[in-house]
Structure 1
């Protein structure tokens, strides 16, 4: 069975277009639900989708709070937005999005992005690549606050289960956060496939110090 998505977008034409692109993908991507409210991704069949395709512009304003809610729930979110500025793209990564695309980038990037995110692989479309290159620290991944919290707690713990208990999360959600961090490091050319490698990266980037360890 192929990957699945839920679409959060308040433009029917966009939803219809994404549905058509998903049906034509190989393998086809199943659209389990769609709606104009982020709630469609948190309940019912939408909560079972592998990936949330999320329109940042809901009700006329950037829905950063809704993005945070989805990311904190452990959902893999592909932001699909009309905004093409670097600040918005980087902020979405900080809030926990798996990747960021503009609607101008179309199916040639949206479909590969969904396929990559389902497999916990990095995907950097042109606009996001430009945003990261313009960042003052292009080789340092942008981690959300919760990603940093979970990562540091894992460094201090013997198991992910203990981290899950500490933050009242499921072990699967803890895994999702740590995998996101791995993806972000791989995306900037600094892979960290083991816990020791992640500790080294965190030391290099000042997230922790030797005294903290």
Structure 2
């Protein structure tokens, strides 16, 4: 190398923030990234508002879906995006409904906590560089359980199903969706027909609730002792 040539300066590491209310998970991520010169955990907090209040400059936020403050994944992602921050979800991914809420708000991807370290690090690296992280788990959560036949509900039909199956009467669903009550009843008949054609009959309101949970349009019921 001649005297006139200079070594280009090294790029600073991507700064990572973590929103996670289990300390062991934060420690685990710190351990995973400890020998990654391109990545550095710069901040962590139990909630999104707490992380944002720190005012730390970040390139990416790793977010758990289910936090003890009861916040919505969609709201959390929207808050982060409003602050100019992209999000990678790091979760057990056991709840398609929560994954859908986050995906709807626009995350870069979803990674299971059970994945091997190399997979997690690769996902964080890609997301920190602004790349989409497409995993089988994310696709399955968005599209529904791959073991269940998709019934092909339209967005409007999914909206009607979610309201009705959660316990609302047809008249109330009509009010909430801006549809006529007879239109709601027509949608429900079509929804039942589609489930029947897929070999997943939904004759009763309880059946519709089960199908909506299976497909991730409603959250899974929690145990009474669950936070």
- TM above 0.5, one fold? yes
Structure 1 residue 102: deviation in Å?
2.2
> Are residues 91 and 106 of structure 1, via their aligned partners in 2, closer, same or farther at CA, if it must alter by over 3 Å?
farther
SS of the residue corresponding to residue 59 of structure 1 reads: coil
Q: How does 1:148-163 map to 2 (within 5 A)?
A: none
> Are residues 62 and 101 of structure 1, via their aligned partners in 2, closer, same or farther at CA, if it must alter by over 3 Å?
farther
The reply to whether residue 120 of structure 1 matches residue 130 of structure 2 is yes
Residues 16, 61 of structure 2: 8 Å contact kept: yes
Residues 92, 100 of structure 1: 8 Å contact kept: no
Structure 1 residue 29: deviation in Å?
1.5
Structure 1 residue 106: deviation in Å?
4.6
Whole-Å Cα distance in 1 between the matches of residues 96 and 77 of structure 2? 17
Whole-Å Cα distance in 2 between the matches of residues 52 and 116 of structure 1? 13
After TM superposition, the score normalised by the length of structure 1 is: 0.55
Whole-Å Cα distance in 2 between the matches of residues 77 and 40 of structure 1? 16
> Are residues 81 and 63 of structure 1, via their aligned partners in 2, closer, same or farther at CA, if it must alter by over 3 Å?
farther
Structure 1 residue 87: deviation in Å?
3.0
- Residue 59 of structure 2 aligns with which residue? 50
- Residue 97 of structure 2 aligns with which residue? 87
- Residue 187 of structure 1 aligns with which residue? none
Whole-Å Cα distance in 1 between the matches of residues 92 and 99 of structure 2? 11
Match of 1:21 among 19, 32, 45: 32
- Residue 73 of structure 1 aligns with which residue? 83
Structure 1 residue 132: deviation in Å?
4.2
- Residue 72 of structure 2 aligns with which residue? 63
SS of the residue corresponding to residue 79 of structure 1 reads: strand
| 1:94-153 Cα shifts (integer Å, max 9, x gaps) | 0122211222225333222221122222211231132345496x9xxxxxxxxxxxxxxx
SS of the residue corresponding to residue 53 of structure 1 reads: strand
The reply to whether residue 107 of structure 1 matches residue 107 of structure 2 is no
Whole-Å Cα distance in 1 between the matches of residues 126 and 55 of structure 2? 22
> Are residues 3 and 69 of structure 1, via their aligned partners in 2, closer, same or farther at CA, if it must alter by over 3 Å?
same
Structure 1 residue 73: deviation in Å?
2.4
Larger radius of gyration: 2
* Larger helix proportion of the pair: 1
Structure 2's unaligned 5+ residue stretches are 1-11, 153-227
